[in-house]
Structure 1
């Protein structure tokens, strides 16, 4: 029966990938007898479709970020949409289906199938833990998809204009007759925060497996969301709640830098497992790590050899994914949560706590006996250090684009530069292109507004 639901779901996702934008997709109605899940186990089966929900995270934001560069020769081997995405072009930066939009909204559709159908299953004393886990899991997955969409297709969250800035389409039902419209940025964040908070109330502290959501993961995602909004009080609150449940760190001294991919998949830091299939531009054989970033690692910092492989010509590729291979880890892990806690403490003036958070993490990253704990630094210097360590620790996880937007919104004044064929491409701070162009087929079929240029 589980396979039947997964097969039917695949048909429905294909049918609705354009979000109900075109009526030709509405002519054939699904057979309700085989398409409607009617038990908690059916709904859990849909959520356990890992290859769709856990292993297809978007890569366009990381492709657009500044952790790497491409040679002219490698750029010329790419498909045209990737070339345009890499150089921050105004439009045509996505291929037609399948792309980041279809992957994100396929996840939203699956979670809405679950959330719509669980309403018909009574929550009782005997099924309450399972019922809550199913609903909470669907809410986490939908909220996470909404956040990914906002990071890619929206500008930074600035409270002063959030009620008028464009957000994303908030698909709240499996009904593909529902018209697609863009919410405001405030509505987008209000909805995903609401989803995550309800999920945190319903989920168990730790999951049956880290492929599934948990209370610790919901708290971690709440902290990430609030960090992206510049709300450091709430970021601190939820990062601390997440670490109260799971705070284990991997001692990098136990890893072998000679391995092609030194980090084991599902290692002890992973709170929730998600995978970004590596986009062509940032594959290990193409992407060269920014030289300033590489040189910022101290020789006794084990990340310098665990994260990077030499290309034999003075450039380096990234091999430090928590996936233990070429694909990129994009889930929630305790190292990210420690860094969010440290940054929030530093912004709020809790300098001793911020230094303790940072030192807890970094002592597991340096060669045994060589790390000198951070102490006696100014508030400004400490914040700069924490943000530098965040970049060094979390590169290639799909977080840098979010960070660039939020830091520039605070006055970071970070300008990105690419040089190809003697031509220089730049992305100034707070440029409208930080809201990447929505795929043109979605604009044409739905009528929603394109991001301004």
Structure 2
């Protein structure tokens, strides 16, 4: 079957989405600029696009700073600012969907340029500035924490661990877009991102190497792990299990499979619940509620116009890859009136294109399976893979995957990863890392009104342009 035109780099229109009620807060937190009273000045500087400080954004020293543990927890409890600032360009840049010409033409200019993989760096706020703003909130917490008296040591440690996780998670998300794939032989030479480890405006943003980018991310997560509880009181709070899971994701993107498997298994040792899709309503427009049983840490991207259900048509080859008795085919997708398919299987609990990018158990089973297959632990890989797939097939129809060849088991694992995790903001990173393996490298293409756009493995366009305003204000070196 011929595939509809494949997709790849999309934009992020700042669509409106619903932040969840703030539970377990000690202060009422109002979404918007009022993170907490003491932080009003910080937020005014960081959140207003007219400030346009980007990496240089820093609360003026004369502005009130957080002075109580409730202030710090108030920042951490603000879902919109902490959990929902992840960039969507990587998902827009993945081959999970295609756009029809009319839908493509209706997009804003920067979205059309992303979609056809053109170099474009204007007004990337949601993908570039917003993650750095979240990093700034984490740095404000970490800078203020030593100055605040907190009697309960466990409370202080959890605040610190949470801020470290947030900083690491957003640095990692930015690294998947604005610097190249991690290659051990070149990582200490290739440009990484500007890593921000303080809220001090005197610390001028400078791009470090890819090696130092990942060293900083991993160091934050390693430091966070002992500070955090095994599981959080609510799923939009950070836990040790989530930190293990993010470390597994980071190491996988680096093709460090032993460590990826180690941390995936550590997370699963704490929490390993999977949903049986036989018990999910396949006819529901939103089949998975937010904070459901597979979610370890809840986070999401804003809903870009190009990824909304009415526009994003699921890649035909992806949809055809599901077997008839694979329940993901019905639970994840719905029929459009034109015969195409739309994705509805997000773990965000939203139907507006606000995609889940948090940590969930299904991803960890697949990371563990891939690591074991690459280490020729065939039985271990098959055990992880079959545990997951047994929950995905119609009752009575699943035949466990078998095999004696590690390469074949690895291929099957990667095929299942493709089917299990679409529209999860993971595919762009997978394309980048798997393109390093010649046998798994693929050509991507788009077809707009008869004009064919292609993206070859290893193309420089796998790295996005840094926001032009950030380059102008901070003097950061632009990507080629």
Please tell me the TM-score bracket, short chain as reference.
over 0.9
Give the whole-Å Cα distance in 2 for the aligned partners of 1:83 and 1:147: 25
Query: Aligned match of 2:70 in 41, 66, 81?
Result: 41
- Alpha-carbon displacement from aligned partner over 1:376-424 (angstroms, at most 9, x marks no partner): 2421111111111111111111110000001012322211111111111
Q: After alignment, is 150-159 or 37-46 more displaced?
A: 37-46
2:190 is the counterpart of 1:146: no
TM superposition score normalised by structure 1:
0.94
- Alpha-carbon displacement from aligned partner over 1:357-382 (angstroms, at most 9, x marks no partner): 00000010110111100012421111
- Alpha-carbon displacement from aligned partner over 1:178-218 (angstroms, at most 9, x marks no partner): 21110100000000000001111110101111101000000
Q: Residue 457 of structure 2 aligns with which residue?
A: 429
2:444 is the counterpart of 1:416: yes
Alignment of 1:395-414 (within 5 A): 395-411=422-438, 412-414=440-442
> What is the CA-CA distance between 1:8 and the residue it aligns to?
3.0
Q: Residue 155 of structure 2 aligns with which residue?
A: 130
Give the whole-Å Cα distance in 2 for the aligned partners of 1:233 and 1:5: 44
Structure 1 unaligned residues grouped into runs of 5+: none
> What is the CA-CA distance between 1:17 and the residue it aligns to?
5.3
Q: Residue 321 of structure 1 aligns with which residue?
A: 346
Query: Aligned match of 1:335 in 355, 359, 362?
Result: 362
Give the whole-Å Cα distance in 2 for the aligned partners of 1:258 and 1:240: 33
Give the whole-Å Cα distance in 1 for the aligned partners of 2:116 and 2:47: 31
Q: After alignment, is 368-377 or 281-290 more displaced?
A: 368-377
Q: Residue 271 of structure 1 aligns with which residue?
A: 296
TM superposition score normalised by structure 2:
0.89
- Alpha-carbon displacement from aligned partner over 1:296-334 (angstroms, at most 9, x marks no partner): 001100110111111133310101111222221110000
Cα–Cα, structure 1 residues 297 and 6, in superposed 2: closer, same or farther, change >3 Å?
farther
2:307 is the counterpart of 1:282: yes
Aligned residues: 442
Query: Aligned match of 2:389 in 355, 359, 362?
Result: 362
> What is the CA-CA distance between 1:443 and the residue it aligns to?
1.3
Alignment of 1:45-444 (within 5 A): 45-92=74-121, 94-95=122-123, 98-121=125-148, 126-326=151-351, 327-411=354-438, 412-444=440-472
- Alpha-carbon displacement from aligned partner over 1:246-282 (angstroms, at most 9, x marks no partner): 0000111111111111111110000000011221111
Query: Aligned match of 2:43 in 6, 10, 23?
Result: 10
Q: Is the 8 A contact 1:17 1:105 kept in 2?
A: no
Give the whole-Å Cα distance in 2 for the aligned partners of 1:364 and 1:199: 32
Give the whole-Å Cα distance in 2 for the aligned partners of 1:340 and 1:156: 18
Give the whole-Å Cα distance in 1 for the aligned partners of 2:311 and 2:388: 30
Structure 2 unaligned residues grouped into runs of 5+: 1-26, 30-35
Q: Secondary structure at the match of 2:245?
A: helix
- Alpha-carbon displacement from aligned partner over 1:215-255 (angstroms, at most 9, x marks no partner): 00000000000000000110111000000000000111111
Give the whole-Å Cα distance in 2 for the aligned partners of 1:17 and 1:119: 29
Q: State the Cα RMSD in Å.
A: 1.6
Q: Secondary structure at the match of 2:445?
A: strand
Cα–Cα, structure 1 residues 241 and 20, in superposed 2: closer, same or farther, change >3 Å?
closer
